[in-house]
Amino acid sequence: MNMQTVAKHWKVKDVAAHLLDGNLRGLSTSRDNYFGEKPENIHSYQDLVDFLNQLNMSWTNATKRLSPQVITDLLESTGKAYYEHLKTLSPFDDAIFSVAWAGQATSPNWFHIAREYTEKFLHQQQIRDAVGKTGIMTRELFYPFIDTLIFALPHTFRDVNAETGTVVSIEVATDIGGIWSIIKTENGWNLDKSNNLQANAKLLIDPETAWKLFSKSWRPEQVIDKVKLDGERKLAKQALNLVAVMA
């Protein structure tokens, strides 16, 4: 309960409480169309991150008075309710919230649901990592998580100039990973999941490092000795800045 997670400000119980907050907020906003606290004076991405961080902090502080059993029971009941609600959403309709970390102002429901999956996977993995419990670093569960995070890669390169046709790839090792690429076009960088592209630059990274780095639990300078950069080093190194959470 009080073991420290890789999320520096949260212990195991705090992460569990945050998962509960996600269920409750999701049901309130998406299912019930109820917004108790609306962000005001949001003029930048950082303003939105600051607002969400404040919401998260106020919630985890309040739930310190709840027992682990109460939180666990509420997670079970609200998790089922939120899952049932998400199944009712039409995949290609506009989602109630965009996936801002992918640079989108409007997102379809399928992407919103995929983002919710990454939240559930990430925070459960943080708990499992802290308590030494294995189980979800599998192809079935990890691959959809990392496949969704990679949608942030074009946005990560939005200010990077390169010749048209330049290919940058990320390869996540082992059979639970894969290869993803972005290609520079006249209109920016586009994601391409073909695995036969000749990369001008490539980041090779293991799954354990990937989930911690891309969730900003670890920083690029902390993992530079854990990864391999091939080809044009500056481009490959830029891929280390991918962040697929609101942070």
Question: Is residue 230 classed as helix, strand or coil in its secondary structure?
Answer: strand
Residues contacting 103, CB < 8 A, separation 6+: 152, 154, 155, 158
Taking only the tens place, the pLDDT of each residue in 153-192 is: 999 999 999 999 999 999 999 999 999 999 999 999 999 9
pLDDT of residue 155: 97
Express each pLDDT in 31-86 by its tens digit: 999 998 777 777 787 888 888 888 888 999 999 999 999 999 999 999 999 999 99
User: What does CATH list as the number for 148-241?
Assistant: 3.30.1050.10
Compute the residue count for the chain. 247
| Residue ranges of domains in the chain | 12-136, 148-241
Its pTM stands at 0.94
pLDDT of 27-36, one tens digit each? 999 999 999 8
Calpha distance 7→30 (Å, rounded): 27
Structure tokens at 166: 């330049």
Digit-coded pLDDT (tens) for 8-24: 889 999 999 999 999 99
| Segments of the chain assigned E as strands | 167-172, 178-185, 188-192, 201-205, 228-231
Average pLDDT estimate for 212-217 = 95
Token output for 205: 């990274």
- Structure-model confidence comparison of residues 232 and 9, the more confident one: 232
> Would you say 31 and 85 are in contact if contact means Cβ atoms under 8 Å apart?
yes
Q: State the Cα–Cα distance between residues 226 and 220, nearest whole angstrom.
A: 10
Reading the block at residue 232, the tokens are: 């044009």
Using pLDDT thresholds of 50, 70 and 90, give the confidence band for residue 247.
low
Confidence of residue 214 (pLDDT cuts 50, 70, 90): very high
Q: What φ, ψ does residue 191 adopt, rounded to 5°?
A: -75, 135
Give residue 45's pLDDT.
Answer: 79
Q: How many helices (H) and strands (E) does the chain have?
A: 9, 5
pLDDT for the residue 3: 92
